Amino acid sequence: MTAEAWTPLRLLGWTQGFFAQKGVDAPRLTAELLLASALGCDRVRLYLDFDKPLGDPELARYRELVRRRAEGEPTAYLVGAREFFGRRFAVDARVLVPRPETELLVEAALAALPAGGSALDLGTGSGAVAVSLALGRPGARVTAVDLSAGALEVARANAAALGAAVDFLEGDLFAPLPPGARFDVVASNPPYLPAGDLAGLQREVKREPRLALDGGADGLQVLRRIVEAAPRWLAPGGVLLLEMHESHLEPLPALCRAAGFERAEARRDLAGLPRLTVARMAAAPPPA
């Protein structure tokens, strides 16, 4: 009589308990994602074959993923992907893992992007925002910039895999753009965490690129530079959309108005936290 076999059902049950005890978020879902990755199948398949014992190589792959997850590696890096705005984006430790809150930025940017218009994504990371805009507004011209060459490799691969036409440029914010370029929409999820928040981040977030998170003393260091430069890159009536920290509720819209935007307002995410500032340039004066 052999020992009881490791079926998906038994493994998931065991791992769920183990992850809960290790303080891993969403223990069941995490176990399912890792098992599906080890088996090279999707999550639904796990339940179709729930009583089929795993082979040794599969079991070894799964154990390694479980061990690394328990030690704080983000699930998205372990499985190499994260869903964002209904699509699957490849991710690795060179890019921030796309967050559900950032879908708010995409929704607002799509609402502001006219058919045939142009959009700029600053600090594109995995390309999640730029690719979602390009696929959400066919015919729009989308440009995406990042300071990190590694991030741009990830973003380019995502755009190619998902069939999105995006122009990628390497450099610091607006620096790599051709002089005189104008956009209907400028969107960014820049690093915006205040320095004081960095030490207390979840261990998973600490594995993500510091360049994508660290917003300086008040978290506004990069946001301020974007707001000050954006008016000369926006078309008349153009819209600036910035993801932000909850502490930026008052100062960020105020900075936008001071920089010459006609209107600026903060929006909250589904958790009720201030998460996005939307600022609009004055429309062109009517023809005389």
- Residue-wise DSSP of 165-176: -EEEEESSTTTT
- Find the part of the chain contacting ligand GLN (CB under 6 A) among 33-41, 186-194, 226-234, 266-274: 186-194
Among 162, 198, 205, 249, binds ligand GLN (CB under 6 A): 205
Nearest CA among 21, 17, 16, 20 for reference residue 32: 16
Q: What part of residues 235-254 is at the interface with ligand GLN (CB under 6 A)? A: 243
Dihedral angle of Cα 65, 69, 72, 76, to the nearest 10 degrees: 90
Helix (H) or strand (E) holding 274: strand 274-280
- Find the part of the chain contacting ligand GLN (CB under 6 A) among 14-22, 105-113, 162-170, 187-195: 187-195
The interface mask with ligand GLN, positions 21-60, x = CB under 6 A, is ----------------------------------------
Place of tokens 């959009």: 119
- Find the part of the chain contacting ligand GLN (CB under 6 A) among 14-22, 106-114, 143-151, 189-197: 189-197
Nearest CA among 14, 18, 136, 21 for reference residue 84: 136
Place of tokens 């990628």: 168
Q: Tell me: does residue 189 bind ligand GLN (CB under 6 A).
A: yes
Among 192, 227, 233, 242, binds ligand GLN (CB under 6 A): 192
- Find the part of the chain contacting ligand GLN (CB under 6 A) among 9-17, 84-92, 163-171, 190-198: 190-198
Q: How far apart are CA 97 and CA 74, in angstroms?
A: 9
Q: Tell me: does residue 191 bind ligand GLN (CB under 6 A).
A: yes
Nearest CA among 242, 265, 268 for reference residue 186: 242
- How many of the chain's residues bind ligand GLN (CB under 6 A)? 10
Q: Tell me: does residue 84 bind ligand GLN (CB under 6 A).
A: no
H-assigned helices in the chain? 8-21, 27-39, 43-48, 56-70, 75-79, 102-112, 128-136, 149-162, 195-198, 203-206, 221-229, 251-258
- Find the part of the chain contacting ligand GLN (CB under 6 A) among 12-20, 49-57, 132-140, 183-191: 183-191
Nearer to ligand GLN by C-beta: 5 or 270?
270
Strands 81-84 and 274-280: unpaired
Query: CA-CA distances (angstroms) from residue 32 to 19, 67, 96, 170?
Result: 12, 14, 22, 37
Q: Tell me: does residue 124 bind ligand GLN (CB under 6 A).
A: no
Nearer to ligand GLN by C-beta: 156 or 206?
206
SS3 103: helix
**How big, in percent rounded to 5, are the helix, strand and coil portions of the chain?**
40, 20, 40
Q: What part of residues 94-113 is at the interface with ligand GLN (CB under 6 A)? A: 99
Minimal distance in Å, beta carbon 245 to ligand GLN?
A: 7
Does residue 52 contact residue 7 with C-beta atoms inside 8 Å? Answer: yes
Q: Tell me: does residue 213 bind ligand GLN (CB under 6 A).
A: yes
- Find the part of the chain contacting ligand GLN (CB under 6 A) among 8-16, 74-82, 191-199, 256-264: 191-199
Nearer to ligand GLN by C-beta: 256 or 281?
256
Positions touching ligand GLN (CB under 6 A) are 99, 189-193, 205, 212-213, 243
